[in-house]
Structure 1
Amino acid sequence: MKNILLFLALSSTILFTSCEGDPGPPGEPGGLVYAQVFEANVDFNYIPSENIYETSFIQFPFEVFESDVVLAYRYEGRGDIGNGETADIWTQLPQSVFYLDDTGDVYQYNFNHTFVDIQFTIEGNFDLTNIGDNPDPTTNQIFRIAVVPAEFAKTNPSMDDLLEVMQTDGSQIEKIEL
């Protein structure tokens, strides 16, 4: 009896492991998708009528889609990371800079973009012609631009749609009072 059960177990194992069905349909192309990054060294031009500094428009050196996410960083210099080593320091935009202590004067590095190009600006709450100190914050500025691939969401559900999916009328949602 033991030999018969052993024979059936081995036979069924061989039978099921050697079966192969029709191949399924091909899937979506795979692989890793990485953000693309480039750097731009820019000088700002003052626009007196708007009291802002702005750069020329910088074309993306690769294809960018309207749904992609664009991040920008300003180079701050090098910093000590220990053991006598240094590394680049990058600050994400927008970046506010307090111009003079106790004056409330602030200017801000910012950017705007389309899926074709990017432009950097310096905006402030005072006459920006005064910010040309040592070092000059309007010349020889290095920015790192990262474009992260993304897709627009296929749906944009309303609150009613979400409550329906949750199978609730909203009475079970916790309310927080501040």
Structure 2
Amino acid sequence: MKKILLLLAIAVGFASCEGDQGPPGFDGLDGLDAETALIFETTVNFTAPDYSVPVNYPNNFELFDTDVVLAYILFEQASTDDGRTVDVWRALPQTIFSDFGDFRYNYDFTIVDARLFIDGPISTDFNNLTTADVNNQTFRFVILPSEVASDPRLDVSDYNSVINIANLGSADVIQIQN
């Protein structure tokens, strides 16, 4: 029994010994603590027959499977009581009711790119779309990391709520040419 205790004491002694301090390691790369949200804007023209426009993400941006992509259309510009003009953004899909039928501005996305398109019921005659309906339509995409998208205060139908929770502002908007 004494030999076992002696052997155990020696083993503990060796385990607690420490050698010379090794050389310091290299500094890591400075970076962000987490993914950040991204906002970008593009103005497009839809053309027959498919009324569809591909949208590339900004350069050097990597979309992850867990990210959420939201799209908004510049629906109108409104005047405030103090005479300022403000943009009115509406979440996609956005249905438009017209004399010739209903149609929708819509979008889909992959981790590679997004697509804006106009669709509607079979009864809608897309040949009746006006120039204002298809030309110079401005859209904003907001890409949220899963940490931001899971915030219970987030209301994806409210553009201002989304950019506030994502800590984004007008200075953060990246202009994309299509």
For 1:41, which of 33, 40, 43 is the aligned residue? 43
2:80 match: 81
Distance 1:30 1:38, change over 3 A: closer
Q: Quick one: higher RCO (CA 8 Å, sep 6+), 1 or 2?
A: 2
- Matches of 2:145 and 2:80, distance apart in 1: 31
Q: Percent identity?
A: 35
2:115 match: 119
Structure 1 residue ranges without an equivalent (≥5): 1-28, 152-178
2:135 match: 139
- Matches of 1:46 and 1:82, distance apart in 2: 40
Distance 1:65 1:33, change over 3 A: closer
TM-score (ref. length: structure 2): 0.58
- Report runs of 4+ in structure 1 exceeding 2 Å deviation: 29-34
Q: Determine which structure has more spread, i.e. the larger CA radius of gyration.
A: 1
Paired positions, count = 113
Counterpart secondary structure, 2:127: helix
2:161 match: none
- Matches of 2:80 and 2:68, distance apart in 1: 29
- Matches of 2:32 and 2:128, distance apart in 1: 53
Structure 2 residue ranges without an equivalent (≥5): 1-30, 148-178
- Matches of 1:75 and 1:63, distance apart in 2: 25
Distance 1:44 1:81, change over 3 A: same
1:70, distance to aligned residue in structure 2 (A)? 0.3
- Alignment of 1:92 with 2:94, yes or no, is no
